[in-house]
Amino acid sequence: MVRSMQPRIVPRNEHGISRKQISPNALRTLYRLRDNGFTAYLVGGCVRDLLMGRTPKDFDIATNAVPGQIKRLFRNCRLIGRRFRLAHLHFQDEVLEVSTFRALVPPEEAEGGETELDGRHSRHVKDEDGMVLRDNVFGTPEEDALRRDFTINALAYNIADFSVIDYCNGLSDLEQRLIRPIGDPAVRFTEDPVRMIRAVRFAGSHGLTIEPATWEVLCSLAPTITRAAPARLYEEMLKLFLLGAARPVFGLLASSGLSAALFPGLHRWLAAGGADRLMALESNLECLDRLCRSALTPAPALFLAALFGPGLEEEALARHREGVPHQQAMDAACSRFLEELAGTVTVPGRISGQLRRILALQSSLHRMPPRRPAALAARPDFADAVAYLLVTAKTHQENREALAWWQAYIQSPAGTGTEVPAEKVPGKKRQRRRRRSRPADQTAAPEDGAALEP
C-alpha cells in the first residue's frame, strides 16, 4: 500500500516552469476551471518534461470538477471512456485530456469485487494474480497522484498559485534522474505489467536510470509482461520504438528479459546467432532513431521490418535454399513469425500486410538494374520498402548499392512519373498516379539529408 506523506509545495520562484512553456489551450482550460471555483492542475508527464526542460508530448489536466461539470464548462468537450469517464477537449490542433482526480485502490478491495463508497460507484477489480482490471472512483488530488506509476510522473502544477506539488519525492528522484515506482515495485508491476515497459521507455528516451532495487524486481517479473493485453502491448511497442530512442530502449528490453517474453521468435534468433545479429539489429534501430529525429515518423510497418526483418530474411533464405520460391519462402517465414508473435503482441492485419510487402519487395529492389522500375515504384509500400534499404544499408553492402540506385531513380524525371509508359504499369492509371506521389513525400527519408546517411 502506498503511504501518504505531507506534500512538498515548491513555490513559483523556486522551480523552472514558466507559463510560456505551457500550451495556450491548456493554460486557458486551467484558468477557466480555476475561475469557476475548481481545483485544476497540470499533471503527469508534462510536469516531468517541463521540469526537465523537454517539450511535453501532451498536456494533461486533473481537476475536482466531475465529468458532467467539465462538459458544462467547455463546449468543445467530449466525454469518453467506459472504464473511467474523462473529458477530451478538442481544439484545432490539440486534444487535451481533463480527468477528475481518481482514487487509489483501497486495500479491502485488493482481492477483487465491487463495492459502494459514499454512494459513489467503486469499481476497483483485480484478477486473482493482483492485476487491476477496472478502477473508476473519484478521489482527492493526493490519491490521484499516488495511483500514478512513477514518482517523477506524479508531480502536479497548480494553476492557483503556479506552484509544483510533490506528493512522493518525485522532485528528488528527478534531480537524481531516477525512475522509481510509487510504493512497492513488485505490487505496482503486478497490478499493471505495462508499467515495466513504461519504465524502460522513460529510461531510454529521457536518459534516466531505473532505481537499482526496482530494476531487480523488473527483471524478475519481466516474464509476466505477457499477462497484459496483446493489443495494448502493440500500442506500447509503437511508443517504445517510434519516439527516437529505439536503440537504447531495445538494450534495456533485452537486458531486463522483457524482449525475450515479448518477442520469443526474435529472442531465439538472437540467442542462436553470433554478435553480428545483435549488431545488425542495433544498427537498424539507430537508423530508425535518426529518421525519428529528422521529424519523419517512420511507419509502424517499417519499424517492425527494422526489428524483425533481418531474422525473417535469414529464415526465408534458408527456405529458399531448400527449393522454395523466394516470395513463397518470405511469406511462410512471415506467417509463422506473426502467428507466434500474436500470442503476446497483436499486430493489426493492415500493418502486418505492409510488413510482408516491404520484405517481399526487397528481392525486386535488389535486382540490378531493376526490371520495370516504374511498376515497382507504383506498388503500395514501395516508399517504406526503399526506407528499409536505408535502415539496413549500414550492415548490408547489397542494400547500399540498391539504395543508391533507387535514390537516384526517385530523383530522376522517370522517378516523377513523366517518362513511364502507362501500359507497362500494372493497375489502374489513377491508382498509379496516386501511389507514385508517395515516394516523393514519404521517402523524403531515403533521398534526403545528412542525418539520414546510413
Which residues are annotated as catalytic? 58, 60, 149
Q: What is the contact surface with ligand ATP in residues (CB under 6 A)? A: 44-45, 57-58, 60, 148-149, 153-154, 192, 194-195
To which H or E segment does residue 134 belong?
A: strand 132-134
User: Which residue, 179, 342, 308, is CA-closest to 256?
Assistant: 179
Residue with cell 527449393: 323
User: Which residue, 413, 406, 364, is CA-closest to 386?
Assistant: 406
CB atoms under 10 Å from CB of 410, counted, come to 21
CA distance 315 to 311: 6
Judged by beta carbon, residue 45 or residue 244, the one nearer ligand ATP is 45
Out of Mg ion, ligand ATP, none, which partner does residue 283 contact, by CB within 5 to 8 A per kind? Answer: none
Judged by beta carbon, residue 45 or residue 310, the one nearer ligand ATP is 45
Q: Return the DSSP state at 417.
A: T
Which residue minimizes CB distance to ligand ATP?
A: 45
CB of 431 to ligand ATP, least distance (A): 37
Out of Mg ion, ligand ATP, none, which partner does residue 331 contact, by CB within 5 to 8 A per kind? Answer: none
* Largest separation between any pair of C-alpha atoms in the chain: 76
CB of 47 to ligand ATP, least distance (A): 8
* Contact between residue 289 and residue 245 where contact means Cβ atoms under 8 Å apart: yes
CB of 110 to Mg ion, least distance (A): 27
CB of 270 to ligand ATP, least distance (A): 27
Q: What amino acid occupies position 353?
A: G
Q: Which letter, b or e, does each residue of 304-336 get, where b requires 16 or more Cβ atoms within 10 Å of its Cβ?
A: bbbbbbbbbbebbeebbeeebeebebbbebbee
Judged by beta carbon, residue 45 or residue 446, the one nearer Mg ion is 45
Judged by beta carbon, residue 153 or residue 442, the one nearer ligand ATP is 153
Out of Mg ion, ligand ATP, none, which partner does residue 135 contact, by CB within 5 to 8 A per kind? Answer: none
Instruction: For strands 209-210 and 178-179, give the pairing.
Output: parallel
CB of 211 to ligand ATP, least distance (A): 16
CB of 439 to Mg ion, least distance (A): 33
Secondary structure of residue 199 in the 3-state scheme: helix
Judged by beta carbon, residue 58 or residue 340, the one nearer Mg ion is 58
State residue 214 phi and psi, 5-degree precision: -65, -40
Judged by beta carbon, residue 41 or residue 250, the one nearer ligand ATP is 41
Which residue minimizes CB distance to Mg ion?
A: 45
Out of ligand ATP, Mg ion, none, which partner does residue 194 contact, by CB within 5 to 8 A per kind? Answer: ligand ATP
Out of ligand ATP, Mg ion, none, which partner does residue 149 contact, by CB within 5 to 8 A per kind? Answer: ligand ATP
Out of ligand ATP, Mg ion, none, which partner does residue 195 contact, by CB within 5 to 8 A per kind? Answer: ligand ATP
Q: What is the contact surface with Mg ion in residues (CB under 5 A)? A: 45, 58
Judged by beta carbon, residue 138 or residue 308, the one nearer ligand ATP is 138
CA distance 206 to 49: 9
Q: Return the DSSP state at 425.
A: S
CA distance 423 to 428: 10
CB of 224 to ligand ATP, least distance (A): 14
User: Which residue, 8, 45, 243, 53, is CA-closest to 152?
Assistant: 45
User: Which residue, 335, 296, 338, is CA-closest to 449?
Assistant: 296
Out of ligand ATP, Mg ion, none, which partner does residue 126 contact, by CB within 5 to 8 A per kind? Answer: none
